[in-house]
Amino acid sequence: MVSFVKKAGLFVSLSLVLHAQNWHVELDNDLLVSSDDAYTGGLSITYMGDMLEDAEEGIYKGYTQTLHDLFGTLFLTDFRDKHINASVGIQQVHITPNDIERSDPIYNDTPYAGIALAHLSLFAWDDAAFDQYRLSFGVVGESAMTKEVQENIHRFSGSKNPRGWSNQIGEKGSIGFGYLRGMRGYEQTLDDGYAFEWFYSVYADLGNTFIGGGAGTLVRYGKNMPRNFDVPSILFNNAPNKVLNMHDRSNALGWSLDAGTSFNGIGYYYLYEEGERAGYNFYTPRWMLTSKIGASVYVENFNFSLSFFPVVTRKNTTQSASWGRFSFGWHY
């Protein structure tokens, strides 16, 4: 199995030869709630180039056209009257028990699990809505290289060193398909360049390590915002839909505040199956209600966001299930 590091190197090398337009980086961590439990952190890097009709001849245009033809054939559509963009991304997910200072297996808590994925996505969109079609492949287990990444993050932040990664769940290759539809339900332009927007979305994931779906809604208020889409997506997933149409704003300073909520149902999760097979007796929620509170700043070709995600399940405590996210975008 190709390691996460080799995948990342291939991703960066390929992107360097593309006619680059947009980079988007997201770093998740639960330092905001001072807890390590279940989903404790993650990292994603996404590249998106020009719209298909504007792309220069080359690797990126060929890649976009291939996804356009593939999903058009599978879903019997020609994407008529839609803009077409494609993205490629890598993602890493870190899952740990609450007590990360113990090196022995903690059979009454969530087992260690590392996930590394590559995402190939096509977006068909107009001003009111978009459809994202995504192919994902990667690995769950040691080859995901989450041990090394989390140890370095904790060393940099001065956090406790996770000592139980040698007990992570067994390795398995991962492949899946995801669909996300996001819609701009309402917008109101106010005085002095201020604006209010309401978004909503539905989404589903089908794969050999995860099956789930859900729906969400979000409101956003700000000034000189890009005319992109800010919608909830599948739990823990990166959100390249935010990169769509990021150039549609002036270079003046802009900002926005957002708040939303989403419901996620879990039909199958390899972590649950493999953990129970290995003898772990831990909480395995089949649904999660996730909120989001965030703020963004837009400066010329850059954007910065900080978000907090409180999570509610049927578990007695909700603190350990929550996390924060820092996002950075570069558009050129």
Window from 209-223, 253-267, 300-314, 318-332 with minimum mean pLDDT: 318-332
Is the pLDDT confidence value at 174 over 50?
yes
pLDDT higher for 242 or 217? 217
**What integer pLDDT is reported at residue 36 of this predicted model?**
58
Four-way CATH pick for 4-331: 3.40.50.300, 3.30.450.150, 3.40.50.170, 2.40.128.140 = 2.40.128.140
Query: What percent of the chain has pLDDT above 70?
Result: 87
- 270 token code pair: 């390899």
**What integer pLDDT is reported at residue 319 of this predicted model?**
42
Q: Where are the domains of the chain?
A: 4-331
3-state secondary structure the chain: CCCHHHHHHHHHHHHHCCCCCEEEEEEEECHHHCCCCEEEEEEEEEEECCCCCCCCCCHHHHHHHHHHHHHHHHCCCCCCCCEEEEEEEEEEEEEECCCCCCCCCCCCCCCCEEEEEEEEEEEEECCCEEEEEEEEEEEECHHHCHHHHHHHHHHHHCCCCCCCHHHCCCCEEEEEEEEEEEEEEEEEECHHHEEEEEEEEEEEEEECCEEEEEEEEEEEEEECCCCCCCCCCCCCCCCHHHHCCCCCCCCCCEEEEEEEEEEEEEEEEHHHHHHHHCCCCCCCCCEEEEEEEEEEEEECCEEEEEEEECEECCCCCCHHHCEEEEEEEEEC
Is the pLDDT confidence value at 238 over 70?
no
pLDDT classification of 320: cutoffs 50, 70, 90: low
- Left, alpha or beta for 321 (phi > 0: left; psi -120 to 50: alpha)? alpha
**Half-sphere exposure (Cβ direction) of 37: Cα atoms closer than 13 Å:** 19
**What integer pLDDT is reported at residue 214 of this predicted model?**
93
Look over the chain and give the mean of its residue pLDDT values, rounded to a whole number. Answer: 86
Is the pLDDT confidence value at 158 over 80?
no
**What integer pLDDT is reported at residue 16 of this predicted model?**
42
Is the pLDDT confidence value at 224 over 50?
yes
**What integer pLDDT is reported at residue 42 of this predicted model?**
87
**What integer pLDDT is reported at residue 318 of this predicted model?**
40
Window from 128-132, 146-150, 157-161, 226-230 with minimum mean pLDDT: 157-161
Distance CA(14)–CA(3), nearest Å, equals 17
What is the mean predicted confidence (pLDDT) over 151-160?
Answer: 80
Is the pLDDT confidence value at 315 over 60?
no
What is the mean predicted confidence (pLDDT) over 313-332?
Answer: 72
pLDDT classification of 204: cutoffs 50, 70, 90: very high
